[in-house]
Amino acid sequence: MGIMTFRNTMLANLFKKPVTTKYPAEPIDYPEGSRGHIEIEIEKCISCMLCAKNCPSGAITVDRKEGSWEINRMDCIQCGYCTMKCPKKCLHIVPGYTAPDGVKQVDRFVRPPETMKPAAKPAAAPKPAEEKKPEAAQKAADAVKTEETKQN
Amino acid sequence: MGKKSVIPFGPQHPVLPEPIHLDLVVEDEVVEEAIPNIGFIHRGLEGLAEKKDFNEMVYVAERTCGICSFGHGMGYCEAVEKLMNVEVPERAKYLRTIWMEFSRMHSHLLWLGLTADAFGFESLFYECWRIREWVLDIMEKTTGGRIIFSVNQVGGVHRDLDEDQIRFMKGELDRIERDLKNCEKTLFEDATVQKRTRGIGVLSKQQIHDLGAVGPFARASGLKYDMRMTGYEAYGNLDFEPVISDEGDCYARILVRTKEIYQSIRLIRQALDQMPAGELSVPVKGMPKGEAMVRVEQPRGEAVYYVNGENTRFLNRFRIRTPTFANLPGLCQMLQGANYADVGILVVSIDPCISCTER
Ligand code: SF4
Ligand code: SF4
């Protein structure tokens, strides 16, 4: 049994600079690969809804008609599962946490109109090509519907 | 002879930020009986298994606990892998072992800090948490998350370690070991610590065995019971012996947990050196069908995972038995006859995690 066993540590700490930082006054460095928040390259998105369907917390809403992609930042648990599921690899999980907020912040991204129907551009066969794309998406959407009904 | 009175302890208590409620029947400052009551933060995680795809469920399962999150994710994945007869690649097994041991270090350091805080040694608390912060930094650099790593998947892991990260890990381990040695002197030898912990809450090996206690709590009473000895993941290839102590008091629990941090450091070093190259995951085909049960050693003790599937994307049943649940009878036994002033340290000494107990 000893007394003053902490003395050396205590004295040493007097001459060291603080371990803590003055966050948020001082910015913080996030390491590469830190899972902070989700970013989307909306031009690449094909509204297949796979991300929305697979998100464990249901944070993503995709509207195929409007070409929009929405994320509820407060619902997202930064698991990164959507980035693995996206067939176009247009979702990325990047460093930097969402700031605390009093309201549930929903970020909405809408695809620019020129990328809405990429198949419509070649004049040769607009119709079949146009239909081809949403086919897969339709399947996914149907699957979502069945799942929803099941949940209800 | 005084009059018996009932003093409520928790669910909000300064010594423990965990919502457990104990009704302490006290007579003359001595606790005669402790009646536990849990159920303040039930979240229904097990029920979610019926609504979430079994792959998605990994992310829910690891949110069972905010401290041993990696272990819960791993336990769940192991159970589903066992059910579906998936053999995880060797490298993934080693990676899981490494991250699991890091989470054990972070959990034990957190506990050491909380214990120091429970007997009023604030500076020691900060010292322990300063070391813990380095462990969290390692986790963030290698997995992307500080507490919840989300690197497990059914069939393997998502992320790999490159040479730089391995070098970084080894360097940090040396630094952690050096600073922990410094703290250890205070933890093991200081009069303040000894006065508050020696001979407090003594449970014999037989009592621990009869009460079904698990983890460091059981090992501190001399019960050599460590699930890692069963050799799941890469533990079978690593050389280690469970840390035990015979005294069975709060001091022994500090001793065992501190030594387990060194043990984890040694295990990680071994695993980093032995880790073979190769795949990170294997594709999983089919749906879970049948039932499986696995047992995993979490920082707090043995956790049991049971899964049951009926050939659909959703599991039929998912059940976790967490270590704190197994340790609660031991706690009530210890509290009988304890001084009221020791209740705080006794409750902390089992390393209670009520959130995961209630799932
Ligand atoms: S990171 Fe996870 S929780 Fe967040 S949007 Fe993607 S899948 Fe959903
Ligand atoms: S998975 Fe990718 S391509 Fe499909 S809707 Fe989501 S972001 Fe768009």
Residue nearest to atom 2 of ligand 1 (CA): A79
Which CATH class, in words, describes the domain spanning A25-113? alpha beta
Distance (Å, whole) CA B184 – CA B88: 38
pTM summary value: 0.83
Instruction: Out of B133, B140, B194, name the one closest to residue A34 (CB).
Output: B140
State the CB neighbour count (10 A cutoff) for residue B274: 13
Instruction: Provide the CATH topology of domain B42-358.
Output: Cytochrome-c3 Hydrogenase; chain B (1.10.645)
Beta-carbon contacts of A61 under 8 Å, excluding residues fewer than 6 positions away, are A52, A69, A70, A71, A72
Give the number of the ligand closest to the Cα of residue A54: 1
CA distance B309 to chain A (A): 17
- Asked if the model's pLDDT at residue A131 lies above 70, the reply is no
- State the amino acid at position B111 in one-letter form: W
Q: How far is the CA of B144 from the centre of ligand 1 (A)?
A: 14
| For residue A141, pLDDT beyond 80 | no
ipTM of the shown complex: 0.74
CB contact under 8 A, A33 and B141: yes
Report yes or no: B54 and B309 within 8 Å, Cβ to Cβ. Answer: yes
pLDDT (0 to 100) of residue A139 = 46
A83 → chain B, closest CA residue:
B158
The partner residues of A63 in beta bridges, in order of sequence, read A68
Contacts with B237 (C-beta within 8 Å, 6 or more apart), sequence order: B274
- Check if the beta carbon of residue B320 is closer than 8 Å to that of residue B64: yes
Size of interface A-B (CB pairs under 8 A): 67
pLDDT in tens, A47-104: 888 888 888 888 888 888 888 888 888 888 888 888 888 888 888 888 888 878 788 8
Largest CA distance in chain A: 90
Give B163's pLDDT tier (boundaries 50, 70, 90): confident
Relative to beta strand B21-27, strand B289-298 is unpaired
At A115, the pLDDT band (50, 70, 90 cuts) reads low
Query: In the predicted model, what is the mean pLDDT of chain A?
Result: 73
The whole-angstrom separation of Cα B67 and Cα B357 is 13
Q: What is the mean pLDDT of chain B?
A: 85
Check if the beta carbon of residue B214 is closer than 8 Å to that of residue B165: no
**Per-residue pLDDT at B60:** 86
pLDDT reading at B125 higher than 50: yes
Does residue A33 sit at the B interface (CB-CB below 8 Å)? yes
Whole-angstrom distance, CA of residue A109 vs CA of residue A140: 20
> pLDDT for A28-38, tens place per residue?
888 888 888 88
- Give the whole-angstrom CA distance, residue B184 versus residue A2: 13
The residue nearest atom 1 of ligand 2, judged by CA position, is: A86
B49 Cα–ligand 2 center, Å: 24
User: Cβ B59–A56 below 8 Å, yes or no?
Assistant: yes
- Pick the atom of ligand 2 nearest to A49's CA: 5
Mean pLDDT of B223-238: 83
Cα(B117)–Cα(B127) distance, rounded to whole angstroms?
Answer: 11
- Map out the domains of chain B as residue ranges: 42-358
CA atoms within 13 A on the CB side of B115: 29
Contacts of B136 in chain A (CB under 8 A): none
* CB contact at 8 A, A47 and A70: no
Give the pair of three-digit tokens for residue A6: 């902490």
Residue B141 Cα, ligand 2 centroid: separation in angstroms?
A: 27
